[in-house]
Chains A and B, each alone.
Chain A
Amino acid sequence: MTQAPAVAPAPAPPRRSVLRVAGRAGYEFLHRVILAPVHEGRLRDVDWPLGLRPLVAVGLVGYVVAALLVLFSGPLREWVPLAAQSGAITLTLPRALVWIVLALTALSTSLAASGALHTRAWLRWVMTGFVVSVMLFTSVPDQQDVPVARILTVAACVGLIVFVALRGGRGYRWWDFVVIAALVWGPLIVTAAVLTSVNRAAGFDFVPLLLSLTLSTLGQLAVPAGLAAGAAVASVTVSSALWAAKIVRSVIGPVAVYIVLGLVAVWRTVDVVLGARELGADGESLRPFAGAALLLALVAGCWAGLARVRAGRGAPTAQGMTDRIDALALIVAAFTTTTLVATPLIVLAQVALGYGSSPEAATMLVTVAGWMTESPVVFAVRGLGALALLALAVVQARRGRRTLPELMAAVGVAMGLISAAVLFGFPLLWGGDALAILGAVLALGVLLVSLVRRRLSPARATSVLIALLMSALFAYRDFVTDPIAYLLGFAGGAVVLFGFVWSFLTGYKAANEDSAAYPRSSRVQLVLANAVFAITVLAFLALARDPDAAVSLGDLAEFGGQAFGDPLVASGLLLALWAAVRGRELDDVPEEATAEM
């Protein structure tokens, strides 16, 4: 989304009806918080080549089907007969829906292979290798004397490799996807048919197990999307607070700002007092608050450092940060998630074992994959990612950019602190509620000082109101996901579903751009593949009602909220408080100055 200027003041008619003002305020809020980010961040038909539109349509249909499976997973589990395995495994799946989840998995695999076809050679061949491994992996259960499914799969894999060698990097053609889809789906259909015909006759039902095996292995690939989903609630929180206050001032008027500020100040004062009682309960309760203070201090310190290395003046904007957090979270999560490397190794090990390779080779691959997913390694990589983010922030700042370097620095600080807590037992890790309380305390402090000094201008009051609203909405952030949670009846699922859908609608601006190395058609297919696969994994978890069936996306989203959402809120609070201290309104940036941020 283009950096938003302040809402243009409404022309002042002599008398404005309450309804009209409320309507305009409501529309402005809806436009700024939802419609504009969606308009800027969704996939848009920017000179799409022939055939890309139907591909996007197919991907969207797949996405909507998966989302509906998530939303209606409760009733579906009630209406559709469940398949389960007695004893050790309590995974229960609505049996008649298994093929849909398999089809969605095949669709995302086809989109990924087709999307990578005309990108840089390394990505093209890495993706092809992975898709070939997945195809071979799904055919392993065919253990017949004449393994038709295996033979056909091997032939299809060879066909795919030849096709990629012939067509790779030669520019998008609409039939690329058709060929790849035929090569991916064909063997899968035959495998399912073979497994069904052989096992059903003996009283076994193997296809749900095939789906379970596939998604419990490949589900790890949804980890980046799951982590990034955690930032969505914070993004909406910051954006809502920002625009609620700004619209109150610009649409209703400065007096309304003072009134709302007074009400919110009372509300937050009560919250702070109640929070303070818990604070005094024991020493342990102090830690999250000390951690929150440390987080704010370190982020502020980094920003001061960035301001020193950056040529030129200007401040980052809160709206710019909310616009960028989804994409940044996804990229950082993708580059710091070790399971993205470990999963292909596990798939390769299974394929090697299933196709008669030596068990030693498979064991070695599994050992390496296991090592990569151990907590110390996972968080060491995240710690290194934090350092890389800080270094990138400096580089970006040196180039004169604003907002993105500050956001990178905030996320880098947060990831660094989390990694230090896990790896070295660093004791001062913030809590989300503590951060909200601390933000309220600081905002109330600024408000008090301003009142004492009689310098509570409308601009300053607006900034204080933004900080207070931000802390309040963040403290009660469940308001965003609680309605979905009630509908789903699935702990953790609401945050993930909201995050996925929000990211899908607002976070794919980069896919509308183009470059020789990563053409727009490839970007569109790759983001679709990621989105469809991630929500397919969520649909599988929701239908199975088991967070451990593949990968616990709810826990990942919670961690993503801490790693990406909390630093965004901390940044928003710092910006609002800094604007208030300077007597300015947050994000009060001239229109022409916003484009370069």
Chain B
Amino acid sequence: MSDTTTVAEPSEPGALARPVSPLRRALVWVTIVGVVAAGTLGLAASDLVPPSTGGGRAARFVPADGSASLSTAADGTRSIHETARDTGPGLLLELPAHAASGFFTEYDESTLRGIQLWRETVSYLDQPDPQISTLYLLDDAGVSMLSVTGGPVGFAYSPALVMLPADAAPGVRWTGEGAAMPAGLLEYSMEGELAAADAGCLLATTRTRYTDPSSGEELLALDETATWCPGRGIVDDAGVVNGSEVRFTSEELPAVGGTGRAGLRVEPAGADWSDAADWRARDLGFTLSDPAFGESPQGTPFDGIAASTGDGTLVAAMGSRLAAYAVDGAAATRTWVASPGGDLLTLSAVGDVTLVSTAERRLLAYDERGARLWAVEFPDVVLAAPTPAPDGDIVAVSLDGTLRRLDLATGAELWSAALRTDVESAVAVGEGIAVVVDRGGAIMARSLADGSARWATELYGAARAAAGDGVVAVQGITSDVWALDPADGSVRWDARHRGVGRGVVVMAGLVVSQTDEMTTAWTAGGGTERWSSTATEAMLVDGARFTLVGRSGLEVRTPDGGVVGEAELGEAFIGVSRVVLPTPHGIRVLQSNTTGMEVGG
């Protein structure tokens, strides 16, 4: 403030008095600008160094993480090939223990820490077969096969079977031999040769023989000619397996369209918790089951996101990948894996369909057997789980406010609207509208039919909304709750309770708001408080009851507030995150330390 500043003589009169030569002035400019430029460029250079990729010249033929292709066999049967790529032993740890154990002795610790792996997972669309996963190693030898799991015969190669040598180029030949199964049960030998193909692709002709080391008997003969194309992997493969001809061709999986398989359930699954009085918690054990390598315990820890599909399948995120488990009693057995690509942000399920959003700004859908249905790109990341809409659709919004209604089975876009504001909360769907609350407290309603604007209003601190029973309920960042008229957005009633808002639902004529201090229910019509609870961690509904989860237990309440069931969960350990999910007949708790609980009758 000028009023209070004491004005004194310039601090460096001598310097000012001396004339400065243009050369010296230029030198000063160059030095000051230069030091800042050098620092900036130094930071850029040290940060933008591209990670080194193993596999030599063969690496460019490996598909990118999260890519998928549709493969068609000579008999017309289809399968989806999905790619996962990772650095470090994560993909090895997801193998059945008997398949992986050899690799942890074959490779030293420092190699394992930086090991570059590529997993290709095949999901069959026209056959009931389970997924088959092939794990490849990218190293100085090139691209080599490490293991094949999921099929009736499993392989674990030592050394890895080279599929494309590091110096991949026309005319290159290579050979290899080693063990094809743990404990030397099977041995392999192979030879291969590369030739040029169109569009920069390579034609790899290989002859592989599998023999019984004890008898020397040839058990499997495989002669194949595979066309490898840059960034796409094998696009055409013709061969003879023990005298039978096989062939398949691959093309890029269309982003939308689905698999066309009948019987996919796209409506939200109903739940029935009428037996809540008999509920009790049982610890879940997670296992991997492989037809060839047998059962082994799940070792990889879960991330903090998970979902339950309509048939009760549990889907959890591990690193940048998904794993699904069929739950039977206290046993959760892995049934499929998926690789959406990039870091995973949200995971949810509607009916049989699992939905996952990624940092690559994509929303992807998988069917009940882990086959990718579609992958839709948004301008920004989707931070909130999509909301089910009528007619087997969903409504999703990305962080930049792009609101879309999509067909759940195919991913086809019914309409899209650009709200041009940042949105992180889920869309509320009901009463014929889709309601979005942005981070600034603006509430925007769009027609569910065509996405046209219906109304907009602003409530200080509004954070999220739920719609139904003739109201749009809005919960504030803190303890405010408003009930709006779905027709015009006017406030019908408002109320307050304690704490920081965590979730709001509308069901059975009630608006129920949960904060980090309590849960309170009001009548949707008039805002009369009906009941409250101390539950703070999660709130789930089955259409007729509320399951309110606290830090160490849960209670099931009817709309009149009566407690009809309770179960003890125990507190989560420090540092362990807990996800609570609804199932058709109870509640499921998944914890990041690879433990969980099934709560039911």
Contact = CB atoms under 8 A, between A and B. Distances in A.
Given A54-B29, A202-B88, A545-B422, A185 B379 contact: no
B49 A196 contact: yes
A377 interface: no
Interface string A34-52: 0000000000000101110
Interface stretch (B118-126, B197-205, B340-348, B409-417): B340-348
The B interface is mostly helix, strand or loop, or mixed, namely loop
B48 interface: yes
Given A77-B380, A82-B360, A178-B31, A510 B47 contact: no
B3 A513 contact: no
A486 B442 CA distance: 13
Interface string B291-324: 0000000000001110000000000010110000
Contacts of A171: 11-12, 15
A141 interface: no
Contacts of A203: 86-88, 90, 114
Given A201-B51, A203-B114, A513-B2, A175 B36 contact: no
B442 A491 contact: yes
Which residue, of B25, B36, B342, has the highest number of chain A Cβ atoms within 10 A?
A: B36
Contacts of B33: 54, 57-58
Given A58-B32, A328-B1, A492-B440, A172 B11 contact: yes
Interface in B84-108: 86-88, 90
A84 interface: yes
B401 interface: yes
A299 interface: no
B6 A81 contact: no
Interface in A401-447: 401, 404
A206 to B, nearest CB: 10
A47 B86 CA distance: 59
Size class of the B contact interface (CB-based, 8 Å): 35 or more
A81 B39 CA distance: 24
B35 interface: yes
B242 interface: no
B440 A192 contact: no
A103 interface: yes
A222 interface: no
B46 A547 contact: no
A96 interface: yes
A516 B401 CA distance: 53
Contacts, number: 215
A102 B577 CA distance: 31
B8 interface: yes
A118 B12 CA distance: 11
Contact of B5 (A86, A178, A510): A510
The A interface is mostly helix, strand or loop, or mixed, namely helix
B360 A58 contact: no
Contacts of B421: 485, 489-491
B488 to A, nearest CB: 15
Contact of A103 (B12, B43, B90, B320): B43
Interface stretch (A87-95, A239-247, A460-468, A578-586): A87-95
A58 B28 CA distance: 13
Interface of A: 47, 49-51, 53-55, 57-58, 74, 77-78, 81-88, 90, 92, 96, 98-100, 102-103, 106-107, 118, 171-172, 174-175, 177-178, 181-182, 185-186, 188-190, 192-193, 196-197, 200-203, 207, 324, 327-328, 331, 396, 401, 404, 485-486, 489-492, 509-510, 513-516, 519-521, 545, 547, 554
30 contacts: A49-B11, A50-B25, A51-B32, A78-B380, A82-B361, A86-B305, A86-B343, A87-B304, A103-B43, A181-B36, A182-B35, A185-B42, A188-B39, A189-B43, A193-B46, A201-B52, A202-B87, A202-B88, A203-B87, A207-B47, A324-B3, A327-B1, A331-B1, A489-B401, A491-B440, A492-B439, A492-B440, A513-B5, A516-B8, A545-B399
